[in-house]
Structure 1
């Protein structure tokens, strides 16, 4: 028996326009997060796309108030509705779409709960999300908080994230000698202050190293560091391919901030340096396919980078290990398979 699935994106820009850009070689994945690969599974009947309204905040609050007393339970045999994160999940719930099981990813909410469990925002989202059929998280560090949040009646499963390994891969030509250090990312849990402090130390002790940081932070850029704005995906891939290490320090968080950049870098043969937060070891193993350093420790980051640059043979082996792991276990095909197995195991 097959089951129909509907993947809900917030707007056509996240689906139709993304697919057109992918066809032109501009972005990874035919669909955002590669969820078009769900259709490869024989358990899927029809896989289609739904669009969510870009509601005003006033309209969202009004709908939320009406639903707080009795959130709908969207359960039936078919179809299964999917939303990638809790923001789109709340849109789907308050829109009261046609019946069907509703599964969603949880990304930011677990950290919101851990940091401010009694806030009004958390309480409202918590009540509304009790209308879903199940949820998945991408980091094992989120599991306990998510299960406590949703209660025993709503299953929460761990799904292994993956990236487009056809887009992010080693260069076709041989890799040039590497002494490029890069950092990419703007999400709220990136620790730019610690990153800058560490990179200033690296530049001081290794003036030949090229250091490039992509960030929207307004902090002063230290000497020896070049700051850039957001870059197109093909240019991002090129920088991963030329980099020795990709440095991704974060504050403490449960969802593994920097996960996407770490996997993209590994797919291209670069070695990630990530902060030791819950769930990191799901993706990066210290001194096996990357480096894991204490949260907020600029000296440890700098020393790790300098030691890595001083041992190019060892660094190359870590790069090979990481590339092999991502291409085998963290691609769009494995992501879709992991997600579908989590849902089917609970819905059957």
Structure 2
């Protein structure tokens, strides 16, 4: 969530700011993003300082009918936007045209453009936290959205728009753990000014509302989705193969490795492949591979007969993405029953076990390995459910409803 350190929002810092300091702050978070927005949209505009309240959402009848000025600007962190995604696709195929498939908002009837916003520097975070985030002026009907809170603050400071929306993903666990940082503090000051927020796990919604307090914007549950065309359903393999992919901050390689050790003790010779960057000792019989391009992850998941995902307790449904990608290829999933995972992984297509319980995970993996027909049927059911409810297309349709109020 950024460099740790409390933000002094009191008079000592506030009185020390000069007009030059205000200009520096604006430039740190706004100027480059504003220029990129202007280049992407063809607009130029002045700026104004933060407003006392949010501009109401436009009614559906006031939105663009093809001749109006409504537009939706999707923001990504610097270096993680559409140009980099396109370049990666040239080197090795990636899912979707944009990260997270957000280009499909256009399929939901929204005129979308993309822009990258720079991260605020440490100085920028401190100054912005002391004086409050700046909201540049934009054309009526312009909506800016950020995938998560890490790009929401620079977006709000730097994108000229009247309406702002963002996802909240990582902050909920940091807040629940009692963490303090300049980035969290600045997000807590900025997000209440947005028109709406979304989360990818239902339990996150209550935590976000508690964090931001009374008067916070509506918090919506948005079902995540994957590119079901990229992760196409494949015939179920004959050779037993347990696969685990991923290494975000809430993965639990210790539990995973112990579960796999138990599986191999019961079924020696079973093929086991783990994609991870962990430095923990690897059990005998387990092959660990480094970070892989998307196309190789897809092929690895398609070679599995069961996918195992071990995670620590968290609120943002860690492991959800690779779990849905695995289901999309037609493979059953064994994952940890952390809050929100049951929104994605029902009993017809997955087995959820308590976190930090390697014996329970091993039992479910062994059960699926011992019943190939049943495992294949679960995978088939999972592939069908993904295509019905959890694609990037269905996610963008739901997101469009959040953005427009329809």
TM > 0.5 between the two?
yes
C-alpha separation in 1, matches of 2:137 and 2:189: 14
Give the TM-score normalised by the residue count of structure 2.
0.79
Deviation at 1:216, TM superposition (A): 1.2
**For residues 171-191 of structure 1, what are the alpha-carbon distances to aligned partners after superposition, in whole Å with 9 as ceiling and x for unaligned?**
3xx443141111111111101
Deviation at 1:74, TM superposition (A): 8.0
C-alpha separation in 1, matches of 2:373 and 2:161: 56
C-alpha separation in 1, matches of 2:181 and 2:123: 19
Question: What pairs up with 1:254-273 in 2 under 5 angstroms?
Answer: 254-273=315-334
C-alpha separation in 2, matches of 1:247 and 1:231: 17
Give the TM-score normalised by the residue count of structure 1.
0.91
1:218 aligns with 279
1:233 aligns with 294
C-alpha separation in 2, matches of 1:178 and 1:34: 33
Q: Paired residues, what number?
A: 338
Residues 1:10 and 2:77 are matched in the alignment: yes
Q: 1:164 to 1:23 in 2, by over 3 A?
A: farther
1:19 to 82, 86, 94: 86
1:280 aligns with 341
Deviation at 1:302, TM superposition (A): 0.5
Gaps of 5+ in 2: 1-62, 65-69
Q: 1:260 to 1:220 in 2, by over 3 A?
A: same
C-alpha contact (below 8 Å) 2:77/2:119 kept by paired residues: yes
2:210 aligns with 148
User: RMSD between aligned alpha carbons?
Assistant: 2.1
**For residues 179-227 of structure 1, what are the alpha-carbon distances to aligned partners after superposition, in whole Å with 9 as ceiling and x for unaligned?**
1111111111101110011111111111121111111111111111111
C-alpha separation in 1, matches of 2:284 and 2:161: 57
**For residues 243-279 of structure 1, what are the alpha-carbon distances to aligned partners after superposition, in whole Å with 9 as ceiling and x for unaligned?**
0111111111111000100000000011111111111
2:378 aligns with 318
Question: What pairs up with 1:76-225 in 2 under 5 angstroms?
Answer: 77-93=140-156, 95-116=157-178, 122-150=184-212, 151-171=214-234, 174-225=235-286
C-alpha separation in 2, matches of 1:54 and 1:156: 24
1:245 to 306, 309, 314: 306
C-alpha separation in 2, matches of 1:81 and 1:330: 24
The structure having more radius of gyration, on CA atoms, is 2
2:36 aligns with none
